[in-house]
Structure 1
Amino acid sequence: MDEDLLRRTAPAVLQVLVRRGADFAAAEDAVQEALIEALRTFPDAPPRDAKGWLITVAWRKFLDAARSETARRRREGLLEAEPLPGPAASKDDSLQLFFLCAHPSLTPSAAVALTLRAVGGLTTRQIAEAYLVPEATMAQRISRAKRTLAGRRLDEPGSAAAVARTLYLIFNEGYSGDIDLAAEAIRLTRELAHLIDDPEVRGLLALMLLHHARRASRTAADGTLVALAQQDRSRWDTALIQEGVEILQAALARDRLGEFQAQAAIAALHADAPSTEETDWVQIVQWYDELAALTASPVVQLNRAVAVGEADGPRAGLAALAQIDPAVPRYTAVSAHLHEADGDRRSAARLYAEAAEQAASLAERDHLVRQAARLNTDGR
């Protein structure tokens, strides 16, 4: 049996069980047990209707569990009859499943893991490998999330904003292990955009596509990071850029600006420019002003300082940087960049070295170390 087909089918099976009255945690356990049985039996006797088979087996697994211990008292009404496999879940069911996985009682990390498991159909092992944690750790995270949701029904979902935030967190993890989380986030966001008419969801999809279009140019052959100014723009995916821009324009036309739309507008201006020098930095600063008004985020202010440095000169960028708390992540790296642009190479080299010690990833650290070494070598 094609494991990828099982993965794509599992969320729909889960939706059917929840629609029939199973609580989320019990339904998810039953689906996972059905998938295990499918992997064991399908190679020898594959059914004609894999989805119907999974629904039947998962429902029986759920009923077996419901008949035991205290679950029987909560679900007596469900035990009176075992219905035949029903139709696929409706769009509304799919949307509620998205919302439930982003329930406000869950932490962001738990919402991410549960979304990948229940909506994305990934296994615990695949999610663990993607996040570079032991499988047992991820299993505990998912179990805690399911316990949190145990007994909750679909009348207490999260919001579209919470779902979008969860998908954005998944996208930012990029690629690791055998699962491309960026591509998975785009797939799920496309599905969400199909289910809900929300300009911010479409803004998020546009943002993902515009960022993903530049993916091939972000790293060199040896895996080292390539800064935007040095990226080979001929390697950018123009089809994804065009799609992202069209989706963004339609979202902006709704006149309900949100942070993902503003971020996508900035990404679109970068994607549209033939080079760093030809980028419309003035308009990017204006979009950062819009974004700052929406979020009051110090990270946004940090990125705005870089844009100001490009639009009005490095001294203006340093002045904008001075208004930001130095404890903000990447503050030192931005300071190094602006000092170098201002001609103060000695200070820039020192700041790049300091920023390398604060880097959140090995790739970022190596990049900053190389910047420091470049300036120190050139200065001899």
Structure 2
Amino acid sequence: MDDTELRHLTPVVLGIIVRRGAEFAAAEDAVQDALIEALRVWPDDPPDDPKGWLVAVAWRRFFDATRADVARRRREALVAQDLERAERGSGGGASDARSAAPPAGVDDTLALYFLCAHPVLTPSSAVALTLRAVGGLTTRQIAQAYLVPEATMAQRISRAKRTVSGVRFDRPGDVATVLRVLYLVFNEGYSGDVDLAGEAIRLGRQLAAVIDHPEVQGLLALMLLHHARRNARLSAEGSLIPLAEQDRTRWDTTLIAEGIDILQAALARDRLGEYQAQAAIAALHADAPTAEETDWVQIVEWYDELTRLTGNPVVRLNRAVAVGEADGPRAGLAALAELDDSLPRYRAVAAYLHERDGDPATAARMYAEAARAAPNLAEREHLVRQAARLNTGLSR
């Protein structure tokens, strides 16, 4: 069994152990022990029922740890009682918090998303915990996403696990946090580093089936529309292919049609949110027969709505690209000049606009600078090739 299937089984097994009565932190530790044992045993002796095997081993590890902990606490309690009797002549007791089972019929993985998005957690802790416990990402991957040291992220996740331990499993979490987590998981999978995009879409479908909210529909539409272009994003050699250069015959028209239908139903409810606005932009790209026929004027209008909704500087950065396409590169550069040049991908956008404005020397320099700050290898190689292409032209 490969890592992808193990990652898929992890939240399922974790949900079962929690529903059996284990506190979240203890259950997560037990499941991690079971996964380590699976990696050791399965290559030589694969089980007929991988999920059943993981549940059995995880539950046994949880039970053994609990029994050892109970024995330790019993010894400590006896010592404490002896001391108390000596001083007061009375004893004490302790309570045992249990996690309640999720509502019948709710997918275990989806229920875990809501537990990890519990109101007692901050949004950043909720996202980190979900990516670790449900998404199957390593602490190192999450730390890289947050741009913090791995040790810092490990402490954050540990605190979050302790916070939700003993919390009732049937209290609703924050839907906005769940949506944010789903989109982060989707983007991690979409990058190709970890294949979680399909799982995020599966959970998005389930969420849309049980929660009647236009932003839930908006996120599902957005993921479907992005996922429809996945096969065209990389060359056979693994090189990044920009949207304008992608072979649109390789886009999945079934997913595009489904995403647009879901988006139209959400927009008809007149409760616009950021995921609907993002999906509308993606739909305009998907609907254009060629890159030249893209309706950039409408895309700028949707970026204006998205800026109003979020105030996000990265949204304004993307808007500068759209302005450059709709009104010319000088207008795009003017919009870019209003932003902080330390923003991620700022120099890549500046390079593109300078090239379109007929300044290849500045564009080549900025492509090279952008490559040094690129967040992944595929993007770095693409930017290096762009710089090399322009430098070759300048040397002739």
TM-score above 0.5:
yes
Task: Give the SS at the match of 1:180.
Answer: coil
> Which residue matches 1:280?
295
Identity value in percent: 65
> Which residue matches 2:271?
256
Q: CA deviation at 1:192?
A: 2.3
Which letter does structure 2 place at the counterpart of 1:24? Answer: F
Task: Give the SS at the match of 1:67.
Answer: helix
Using a 3 Å threshold, how does the CA distance of structure 1 residues 368 and 13 change in structure 2: closer, same or farther? closer
Q: CA deviation at 1:184?
A: 2.4
Asked if 1:67 is matched to 2:70, the reply is yes
Q: Kindly provide the CA deviation profile for residues 307-347 of structure 1, in whole angstroms up to 9, marking residues without a partner as x.
A: 11111111211221122222222222111111111222222
Q: CA deviation at 1:359?
A: 2.2
> Which residue matches 2:89?
none
> Which residue matches 2:319?
304
The alignment's TM-score, normalised by the length of structure 2, stands at 0.76
| Distance in 2, Cα, partners of 1:2 & 1:302 | 39
- For the Cα contact (< 8 Å) 2:102–2:169, is it kept in 1? no
| Distance in 1, Cα, partners of 2:310 & 2:321 | 18
Deviates more, 1:229-238 or 1:61-70: 61-70
Deviates more, 1:193-202 or 1:294-303: 193-202
Structure 2 residue corresponding to 1:193, chosen from 205, 208, 231:
208
| Distance in 1, Cα, partners of 2:272 & 2:349 | 28
- For the Cα contact (< 8 Å) 1:108–1:166, is it kept in 2? no
Deviates more, 1:213-222 or 1:138-147: 138-147
RMSD: 4.1
- For the Cα contact (< 8 Å) 1:214–1:237, is it kept in 2? yes
> What are the residue-to-residue correspondences of 1:132-281 with 2, within 5 Å?
142-154=157-169, 158-174=173-189, 179-281=194-296
> Which residue matches 2:24?
24
Using a 3 Å threshold, how does the CA distance of structure 1 residues 220 and 56 change in structure 2: closer, same or farther? closer
| Distance in 1, Cα, partners of 2:30 & 2:238 | 41
Count of residue correspondences: 369
Which letter does structure 2 place at the counterpart of 1:205? Answer: L
Q: CA deviation at 1:141?
A: 6.4
> What are the residue-to-residue correspondences of 1:107-118 with 2, within 5 Å?
111-112=126-127, 114-116=129-131, 118=133
- For the Cα contact (< 8 Å) 1:172–1:182, is it kept in 2? yes
Structure 2 residue corresponding to 1:345, chosen from 356, 360, 370:
360
> What are the residue-to-residue correspondences of 1:45-124 with 2, within 5 Å?
50=52, 54=56, 64=67, 67-70=70-73, 74-75=94-95, 89-91=104-106, 96-103=111-118, 106=121, 111-112=126-127, 114-116=129-131, 118-119=133-134, 122=136
Using a 3 Å threshold, how does the CA distance of structure 1 residues 376 and 164 change in structure 2: closer, same or farther? same
Which letter does structure 1 place at the counterpart of 2:374? Answer: A
Which letter does structure 2 place at the counterpart of 1:28? Answer: E
Which letter does structure 2 place at the counterpart of 1:64? Answer: R
| Distance in 2, Cα, partners of 1:320 & 1:356 | 22
| Distance in 2, Cα, partners of 1:337 & 1:375 | 11
Task: Give the SS at the match of 2:238.
Answer: coil
Deviates more, 1:300-309 or 1:19-28: 19-28
- For the Cα contact (< 8 Å) 1:34–1:61, is it kept in 2? no
| Distance in 1, Cα, partners of 2:357 & 2:97 | 73
Q: CA deviation at 1:371?
A: 1.2
Q: CA deviation at 1:233?
A: 0.9
Q: CA deviation at 1:18?
A: 4.3
| Distance in 1, Cα, partners of 2:294 & 2:263 | 19
The alignment's TM-score, normalised by the length of structure 1, stands at 0.79
Larger Rg: 2
| Distance in 2, Cα, partners of 1:302 & 1:176 | 20
| Distance in 1, Cα, partners of 2:288 & 2:59 | 54
Which letter does structure 2 place at the counterpart of 1:233? Answer: R
Using a 3 Å threshold, how does the CA distance of structure 1 residues 218 and 53 change in structure 2: closer, same or farther? closer
Asked if 1:376 is matched to 2:391, the reply is yes
Task: Give the SS at the match of 2:293.
Answer: coil
- For the Cα contact (< 8 Å) 2:348–2:367, is it kept in 1? yes
Deviates more, 1:109-118 or 1:232-241: 109-118
Q: Kindly provide the CA deviation profile for residues 67-121 of structure 1, in whole angstroms up to 9, marking residues without a partner as x.
A: 344599555597xxxxxxx99943297655322212355566754454355445x
| Distance in 1, Cα, partners of 2:224 & 2:302 | 19
Q: CA deviation at 1:350?
A: 2.2
Using a 3 Å threshold, how does the CA distance of structure 1 residues 327 and 138 change in structure 2: closer, same or farther? closer
Which letter does structure 2 place at the counterpart of 1:307? Answer: A
| Distance in 2, Cα, partners of 1:358 & 1:52 | 41
- For the Cα contact (< 8 Å) 1:27–1:62, is it kept in 2? no
| Distance in 2, Cα, partners of 1:312 & 1:295 | 23
Deviates more, 1:134-143 or 1:103-112: 134-143
Q: CA deviation at 1:147?
A: 2.0
| Distance in 2, Cα, partners of 1:344 & 1:246 | 42
Deviates more, 1:147-156 or 1:290-299: 147-156
- For the Cα contact (< 8 Å) 2:123–2:177, is it kept in 1? no
Q: CA deviation at 1:142?
A: 4.8
Task: Give the SS at the match of 2:304.
Answer: helix
Q: Kindly provide the CA deviation profile for residues 338-366 of structure 1, in whole angstroms up to 9, marking residues without a partner as x.
A: 11112222222222222223322232222
